[in-house]
Structure 1
Amino acid sequence: MERIEVDQVVMGLILNAGNAKQHIYQALKCVKEGTLAKSEEEIRLAEEALTEAHNIQTSFLVKEANGQASEITALFIHAQDHLMTTITEINLIKEIIEMRKEFKNLLKIGEIEND
């Protein structure tokens, strides 16, 4: 695998993971503000960016598994770390979003008091 291709993989991982993280935090902000439709769109965009990052990663790993060894750099490790962290954050934020929605529903029906 050429050096330029490895760099493209690294930058693709970082860019798409960063975009996914940006969208999921925007989704959380939208839920806090009560714009649920916008939140759902931001979640969709986060998942789309995450899928793109995962596809880049999978393609890279398949090439390596097929014998096309490549140089693993600190920047590549950083990109992998960034992707893993983003995956975790997306999973946790999606749970927080669901809890906020449930809480708002309980407030609406009067199950809990809003002090």
Structure 2
Amino acid sequence: MNKQEVSMIGFEIVAYAGEARSQLLDALNEAKNGEFEQAEMLIEKASKTLSEAHQSQTQMLSKEANGEEVDLGFIMVHGQDHLMTALLLKDLVKHIIELYKKGGAKVE
């Protein structure tokens, strides 16, 4: 894969991860206001969005695993950073929402 192809995949990953990040932060705000059902729906949407990012990543990884030369650039590194941050955020948001649920009240 040439650098331009890898960069396009990197941009896809950034876009998907950014969308998931927004969905996760919206989910956290919904949970903070006691809207747990809406929060869960947003987490599910974010999971699907992250799955799209992962599919883009896997496309490149499988080509490299099959011996194809992959010309990495900073855009792909940036994409990987966004993806890993969004995955971590998902785990944290899920835990924080559970804490909100146990509190049983809106948080101001």
Task: Report the number of matched residues.
Answer: 105
Structure 1: segments with no counterpart, 5+ residues: 108-115
Q: Deviations over 1:8-54 (max 9, x none)?
A: 20111000000111101100000111212211110111101111111
Structure 2: segments with no counterpart, 5+ residues: none
Distance 2:94 2:100 in 1: 10
Alignment of 1:61-80 (within 5 A): 61-80=61-80
Work out whether residues 7 and 73 of structure 2, in 8 Å CA contact, stay in contact via their aligned partners in 1: no
**Over aligned residue pairs, what C-alpha RMSD do you find?**
1.2
Alignment of 1:20 with 2:14, yes or no, is no
In structure 2, give the amino acid aligned to 1:47. Answer: S
Identity of aligned residues (%): 36
TM score, norm. by length of structure 2: 0.90
Q: Runs ≥4 in structure 1, deviation > 2 angstroms? A: 2-5
C-alpha displacement at 1:6, in angstroms?
1.5
Highest CA radius of gyration, 1 or 2?
1
C-alpha displacement at 1:7, in angstroms?
2.2
Query: Which residue is 2:84 aligned to?
Result: 84
Work out whether residues 20 and 49 of structure 2, in 8 Å CA contact, stay in contact via their aligned partners in 1: yes
Q: Deviations over 1:38-74 (max 9, x none)?
A: 1111011110111111111111100111011121111
